[in-house]
Structure 1
Amino acid sequence: MEEIALYLFKSGICLSLCYGIYYIFLKNETFFKFNRYFLLAGIFLSIIIPLFNFTYTVQVTDPIFNKNSVLNPAKTTPAILSYLQFGLLVYFVVTFGFIFNYLLSLRKARQLVSQHYFEVVDRCKIIYTNQFNTSFSIFNYIFLDTDIASSVVEQRLILEHEKAHVIQKHWIDMQIAQLVRIFQWFNPIAWLYLKAVRQNHEYLADQTVLQAGNSGATYRATLLNHSLQSRVFNFSSSFAGDNPFSRIDMMKKRTSRETKKWSILLLVPCFSLIFFAFATPDYQTSKNKVNPGTAVKAKAHLPIYVVNGVETSSIENLDTNEIKSINVFKGESAIARFGEKGKYGVIAVTLKTKP
């Protein structure tokens, strides 16, 4: 349970970092193909990176650290665990709801396709229908509204726009971004990320139409004429389904400098920070190794023990009930009473009865 929650949390942070870099440095630039690959890379990085666990080594010594408390940290208390289980239960219920709605949309799209005849033009399956008040594309199908009041030129421009979506396979990006939004519905950035992917697709399609030699003024006028259209499916590409004014502004912008692409290098310190923040310590115990010379030196600095005037190596085995008094001598007083061997201190014990 904890692993699932931690993975979702780290994945959400990774996705947010990628979106932040896109929003600040790339969103208003004109290299749309590069932006498309960057947005896709951000999705895959947010999926893959949280799968790796990074550790750093911490050396500890046995006498100081308790093996049970340090090497085996205490597990989450039952109360906290119950809150976590409840939160994950809510998460899975809502997620399954989004998945069910997504599958229903796919089924509806399939039924819609099966109800119409289509003609194949440049690998695109074109369906002419008056069932909707908009033109849009789903996968490799293009639905053109036959009732819309527009000129032949406008209809051709709309068709070229939707063909660009199909030929460039924008539907693949849309499905991936849709799935990310489904599994990260709790993360507002996931919803903004889907919107960014869709908007960049519109920029790409607009760029394709204009690079084909069509009049920019005529194309922008066509976009404004159809700006009130609404999207039929969340995963469809609609000619004027997104903000047409931002698209018109982007059409009139000068080509961005290639050097601005280097802003993606900011991902390196950002992800390094994530690795550091979520790295777990790997405690390794080590025993103090003392060579013989050091051991002798350490022993020479120990005080001596004297029991009833007789020097002894230890007083651990003495019966405390038999001890009458304990005197500690240090410095000059110890040397004066016990000689040079008492220079590191003397602990003198007097027993009630002589041994």
Structure 2
Amino acid sequence: MLTYLFQVSLCWAVFYLLYAGLLSRTTFFQWNRGYLLSTLVLGALLPLAAWLGPVMEPGHPIGLAQYKLQAIAVPVHELEVLVTPEGNTAARPWMGQALFWAYATGALLVLGKLAVGLGQIWSCYRRGVKKAFPGYTLVEDPKTAAPFSFFRLLFWNPALPFAPEDRERVLQHELAHIRGWHSADILLLGITGAVFWWHPLFYCYDRALRTVHEYLADEAVLAHHPKKAYGHLLLRQAQSGQVLALANHFSHTQLKKRILMMTRKKSPRLQLLNYLLLLPIGAALLLAFTPPSGVDREEGPLPVFSGCGAAAPEAQQACSQKKMMEFIQQHLQYPEAAKKGGHEGKVIVQFTVNKAGQAEGIKVVKSAGYGMDEAAVAVVGQMPSWQPATAADGSPIAAQMTIPFSFRLAPAASSEEVFKVVEEMPVLSSCREQESQQAQLNCSYESLAAFVSSNLQYPEIDAEGTVVIGMVVSTTGEIESIGIKRGVHPALDQEALRVGKLIQAETSWIPGRQRGRTVKVDLILPIRFKGTAEGAATDMPVPALGGVQKPRLAGCESLADAQARQACADRKLLELVYQQVKYPKPAIEDGAQGTTVLKLSIGLDGKISAYELARGIHPAIDEAVLQVGKILQEETTWIPGQQGGKAVAANLMLPVKFKLPEEGQAAEEAGLEAPQPIKIQGFSASPNPAQEEVRVKFQAKEGPLAIRLMDAVGKVLYEAGYPGFDGIFDQVLDLRGLPRGILFLHISQDEGQSVQQIVVQ
């Protein structure tokens, strides 16, 4: 921030010196007004070029790589590393807080003064007598001390002792202010002053612009009245001590300047060329504030980071990107001096990977200070040897690299944020002794089911269905809120809520965790009422973490092969979805497209107990997909998920992609994309669950093939293409840094795809 303020000061100083030295003495008053207004704004905007980062040339956007961000599809030399300190942000020093409050107080005072001024003008307008004239409205107010104008309003006290000739001159003066829209300039100065109230150069601009307004108004009067008589009027008003509004903030210094300017000869038009000096000066300042990118943006060979030389050529850069990011994340630390002082900034480091694969010539091309420069340079110097870039003939060549490091203090997480899915779901405290998280979840599910069964009392009514209760587990392990998410019948709803409140009162929980911190988690508890009290049960789905066979649509049990049954069920589900959902017309008109994710909770009875959107894209599309969820709930039967040979309730994520026609494509060719299953043989992923890496093996037909690793809401975490796929896939996928939980491996070939589950612990 200090850098920005210094650069604003430099801009204003250069621009104002040009005005004071060459332009202020000319009689090109309208040009001077435009110059002052434009440079006032330009001086505040030019330094932002540095804050927006390196110049991004067409076709080569700079990507932003954050902690744990995976598979960014930009070249390695265009990465930007965002560094955040571990833990909560250190408190800013008291001096910084004091400066902030001093600045805020000044800004509020300036805004308050502006508001008071506007209020006074409104009071004058409200009590005055209005008379409409061409181009302005005269407001006669007996309490107005001196004539003044505000936009199209001219305020006048009829009792002021002006001779008829002087009254006409004052009127011409104020009409010049009105026709020139000088009030808009004054209002802009007032708003700008709220931001830069502390800056002395701002007041130089303020005084100069108000003086130019008076020059313009004087010029308009002198076009119809003699200079001598008008000058005598100004002198009489100065000697009488009367505040004359035609001389805004009237002072002896300003009066002297105005009289001198009235007697000055018109400036030669050749002096207009002086205004062209603004162009090279502005360009020089912009160049000075814009850090050099230092990157050769032309397409060319790039070096390969250590450990990626054995990868396929088309995958080397993706591997280099990932490996380098991992290295930086492991070795780069937020400097303590910057962290304690609350300092942030961007450091741009440039270096050359020589023919031997060593980083040399490391230098900082944009500094941030407070130890951030040294931290960035040190981590580049610690990088292992690269595989050098190669020329067309295979010989090694040197390559220049530039990496921007953005040091940002992590904002404190909102204590009010409530998650639906987290890396570690809440579990009952009584199940903390279980060895694995999945075992804890199973224990919690069984304990809740037993609690509901022993406490639920079936109302004596002829009604059945599933009541869905929502309860939020707080960061302290307590259920802080509970309510009905979906009801069936008032009596059933009331009974389900009663049991939910018993759970709230009699259970304690281990809170959920996301990225190492405890967070609030919204759990759903479906309670099924069926026919009799003995039919009441809970279908609370347990998030599967490993060894879980996902639920599938019933109707394919006659097939002997497990993969064939799953492929058959997937095909039936796709057919059912695409029969029911249509592209909503409002979404087409709004140009909305993308992928929604429908979350289905499938109970032990093979029925969908609840459904909701895990991700939406447009109200009309979301409503259409929810309608599909309702149809699936009412009309389908499922084979429940399995774990350890035992049926379990589980969630199933169903992505539905909506796509508008591209240019030249027939409208009927667009709509929902329904990829056909492809035949995958011998698929294996081991170990599964996995922690750091997993070996994936399968066989498919020869031809171009691509894989994508996605989370439950469809975010792509890793992707790679194999244009020369020979029919046998055997690769080790690096899982380090990926979120824990169920991930989905999408294998795509031609127009079809196969989806497999990989569990990261």
| TM-score for both structures, normalised by structure 1 | 0.67
- Tell me the equivalent position of 2:711: none
Equivalent pair of 1:226/1:240 in contact (CA under 8 Å): no
Q: 1:153–1:17: structure 2 CA closer, same or farther, 3 Å change rule? A: same
Equivalent pair of 1:15/1:46 in contact (CA under 8 Å): yes
Matches within 5 A, 1:64-79: none
- Tell me the equivalent position of 2:250: 241
Q: Measure how far apart 1:203 and its partner are.
A: 0.5
Task: Work out the CA distance in 1 between the residues paired with 2:3 and 2:249.
Answer: 39
- Tell me the equivalent position of 1:185: 197
- Tell me the equivalent position of 2:26: 29
Q: Measure how far apart 1:200 and its partner are.
A: 0.4
Matches within 5 A, 1:15-164: 15-53=12-50, 55=54, 83-164=95-176
Task: Work out the CA distance in 1 between the residues paired with 2:97 and 2:276.
Answer: 38
Equivalent pair of 2:12/2:40 in contact (CA under 8 Å): yes
Runs (4 or more) in structure 1 with deviation over 6 Å come to 71-75, 77-81, 291-295
Q: 1:191–1:270: structure 2 CA closer, same or farther, 3 Å change rule? A: same
Task: Work out the CA distance in 2 between the residues paired with 1:115 and 1:276.
Answer: 54
| TM-score for both structures, normalised by structure 2 | 0.33
* Structure 1: gaps spanning 5 or more residues: 58-70, 296-355
Q: 1:214–1:278: structure 2 CA closer, same or farther, 3 Å change rule? A: same
Task: Work out the CA distance in 2 between the residues paired with 1:249 and 1:225.
Answer: 17
Equivalent pair of 2:49/2:289 in contact (CA under 8 Å): no
- Tell me the equivalent position of 2:221: 209
* Structure 2: gaps spanning 5 or more residues: 57-80, 293-347, 357-389, 397-761
Task: Work out the CA distance in 2 between the residues paired with 1:105 and 1:119.
Answer: 23
- Tell me the equivalent position of 1:13: 10
Of structures 1 and 2, the one with the larger relative CO (CA 8 A, separation 6+) is: 1
Task: Work out the CA distance in 2 between the residues paired with 1:133 and 1:217.
Answer: 26
Q: Percent identity?
A: 24
Q: 1:267–1:86: structure 2 CA closer, same or farther, 3 Å change rule? A: farther
Q: Measure how far apart 1:136 and its partner are.
A: 1.5
Q: Measure how far apart 1:73 and its partner are.
A: 9.8
Residue of 256, 262, 270 corresponding to 2:267:
256
- Tell me the equivalent position of 1:65: none
Q: Measure how far apart 1:286 and its partner are.
A: 3.3
Number of residues of Structure 1 aligned to a counterpart in Structure 2:
275
Secondary structure in structure 1 of the residue aligned to 2:159: coil
Equivalent pair of 1:25/1:260 in contact (CA under 8 Å): no
Q: 1:179–1:92: structure 2 CA closer, same or farther, 3 Å change rule? A: same
CA-to-partner distance for each residue in 1:215-243, whole Å, 9 max, x for gaps?
22222222222223337xxxx75468252
Which structure: greater helix fraction?
1
Which structure: greater strand fraction?
2
Equivalent pair of 2:55/2:290 in contact (CA under 8 Å): yes
Secondary structure in structure 2 of the residue aligned to 1:226: helix
CA-to-partner distance for each residue in 1:28-81, whole Å, 9 max, x for gaps?
210101111111111221232222226489xxxxxxxxxxxxx88999x97987
Equivalent pair of 1:162/1:239 in contact (CA under 8 Å): no
Counterpart AA for 1:135: P
- Tell me the equivalent position of 1:271: 282
Q: Measure how far apart 1:293 and its partner are.
A: 11
Equivalent pair of 1:129/1:145 in contact (CA under 8 Å): yes
Counterpart AA for 1:175: L
Q: Measure how far apart 1:143 and its partner are.
A: 1.9
Equivalent pair of 1:177/1:194 in contact (CA under 8 Å): yes
Q: Measure how far apart 1:14 and its partner are.
A: 2.1
Equivalent pair of 1:137/1:238 in contact (CA under 8 Å): no
Counterpart AA for 1:146: P
Over aligned residue pairs, what C-alpha RMSD do you find? 3.3
Q: Measure how far apart 1:101 and its partner are.
A: 2.0
Task: Work out the CA distance in 2 between the residues paired with 1:79 and 1:280.
Answer: 30
Equivalent pair of 1:130/1:147 in contact (CA under 8 Å): yes
Q: Measure how far apart 1:260 and its partner are.
A: 2.3
- Tell me the equivalent position of 1:342: none
Q: 1:107–1:239: structure 2 CA closer, same or farther, 3 Å change rule? A: closer
Q: Measure how far apart 1:294 and its partner are.
A: 9.3
Task: Work out the CA distance in 2 between the residues paired with 1:186 and 1:239.
Answer: 22
- Tell me the equivalent position of 1:337: none
Q: Measure how far apart 1:181 and its partner are.
A: 2.1
Task: Work out the CA distance in 2 between the residues paired with 1:73 and 1:268.
Answer: 38
Secondary structure in structure 1 of the residue aligned to 2:106: helix
